[in-house]
Structures are given as structure tokens and as C-alpha cells.
Structure 1
Amino acid sequence: MFKRLLALIAITTLTMTNVSAQTKDEKAVADAVETLRKAMISAEKATLEGITLDQLSYGHSSGKLEDKKTFVENITNGNSHFLDITLTDQTITVVKETAIVRHKLFANTDDKGKGPGTVNLYILLVWQKNGGKWKLLARQAVKVNP
């Protein structure tokens, strides 16, 4: 019984240490990534515009590049329609006013003119702190090999 109690205390301590290891900026970047994920599903124009910088460079796995205006238009008009997006294996590295986020993205899509589909991608996001808020500056996707 005593050994089980010690094991439980050790596991709880390790878990709390890992959670508290995330810095304030890393947490804020993670929140920004989640806001972007939700806005891409809901196609909320104001949120998409607010979470991205005017200089946005948005790279698709096909090699197609979009600026901020085109990215927002394609999400809001249904050309890029996400039914759901799941992010896994996320890492966040903050260096001063810049953050690098990597994760794996899996999504079900229903893009206008293409019908239902899925995407399985590795994503690199570059965020910049602007006016105290983290904004997306660049994104590049690469297809996950089956």
C-alpha cells in the first residue's frame, strides 16, 4: 500500500512538473494555434484576419503559396473547407518575439469542387509577437508519406 502511495505521488509530481514546464509564451502560442485551428474549421473571417499578420506566407503541401488575403478568402468561401482538424505531436520553441511550432495535422475536408477528402500533413508555423499577441507570419505544409 505504501509503495502504491509513493508511486502515485511520484507520478503526480512528474505530471505537474511537465505541465508547469511550459512557459507563459509557449502557453500563449499554443492558445493561438488552437484559435487558428478552430477558425479554420468555422471559417470565421474576423478571427482568421486577427490571428494572422499582413505579411503572411501560407504554403500548401502542393507547393501553392497564399498571402493573407488569399488564405482568408479560400477558407471563408469554401475553397478550403475543413470539417475537422486534429493536431498531434506539437512542439513549440520560443525565441524572443518569434515562435516555431511543428505538429502533425489530420483533417477531413470538403473543398469546393473537389468533394470530400482527407489531409495528413506535417506543419511548420512561424508566429511573431505583435502588440503583445502572437500572430501567424508563415506556414508550410508537407505531406506525410503513407
Structure 2
Amino acid sequence: MPAKTIEAIRGLERDRFRAMVDGDGAVLDALLAENVSYVHTNGKRETKRQFIDAITAGRRRYRQIEIQSQDVVLAGRDSCLVSGRALIEMESKNGALVFPIAYTAIHVQSGGQWQLLALQATRIALE
């Protein structure tokens, strides 16, 4: 069971990043808990609605998100902790931005469905 759960969480992380790149608000809506706390690399905290709206309205455009490493740890029956690194490519007013991040995500299971409850991302130095 734990290996199956860990693979499910890895899949949800891939799905979330793909939805961010694709601007898919419906997928993001399903993957994020109603009370999600999403903290970006600049320290800005967003609610679920703020996060999804910024992506679907085109105010935040992700070109690519590449997972570089990812550790998933079961933190009880209904929660998982993900610590990972990813390379982010975004569109900005001044052109493309490419930067690596370290992130911590907490997924919880409610009603048989896993959802992202919290995310904290930090920019890191290029290695």
C-alpha cells in the first residue's frame, strides 16, 4: 500500500505541474484542497481561487516545469510530505525566466481523494 500511495502522489505532482503549464483550471481545481495555502518563491501566499485565476487568466504563464528530484514520505494514513526540486520556465513581461526551486508540498486524503493542502517554494542557486 505505501508504494502505491507514493506513486499516486508522484502522479498528482506531475498532473499539477502539467495543469499549471497548460493553464487547466479544472484540473487544478480538482487537485487543490479548498483551503490550500500556496506560497510562491517571492513569498506571496495565494488561496486556491487566486492561484487558479492567475493561471487561467494568463497573469502567470508557465512554459515548462521539470521535476529534478522528488522525495515522498508518508506522514500518517491520510497525509504525505513531498520535498522536491524543479526547474521552472515562465513567461514574464521582459521575456522568459528560468530558475530552479526547492519546494515542500503536503497532500492530504479526504473522501478518498488526495489533494494539495500546502506548498512552499524557494528559489535556489543554479548548480
| TM, length-normalised to structure 1 | 0.80
Shift of 1:114: 4.5
- Which of 45, 55, 63 is equivalent to 1:83? 63
Q: Are 1:39 and 2:19 counterparts?
A: yes
Residue matched to 1:49: 29
- C-alpha distance in 1 between matches for 2:98 and 2:68: 16
Is 1:93–2:54 an aligned residue pair?
A: no
Structure with bigger helix share is: 1
Q: Give the 5 Å matches for 1:96-135.
A: 96-111=77-92, 113-135=93-115
**Aligned counterpart in structure 1 of residue 46 of structure 2, from 56, 66, 69:** 66
- Identity, % of aligned positions: 23
Count of matched residue pairs:
125
> Structure 2, unaligned stretches of length 5 or more?
none
Q: Structure 1 or 2: larger strand share?
A: 2
Indicate the structure whose relative CO is greater, using CA pairs within 8 Å and at least 6 residues apart: 2
Q: What RMSD over aligned residues (CA atoms) do the two structures have, in Å?
A: 1.5
The TM-score normalised by the length of structure 2 is: 0.92
Letter in 2 for 1:105: A
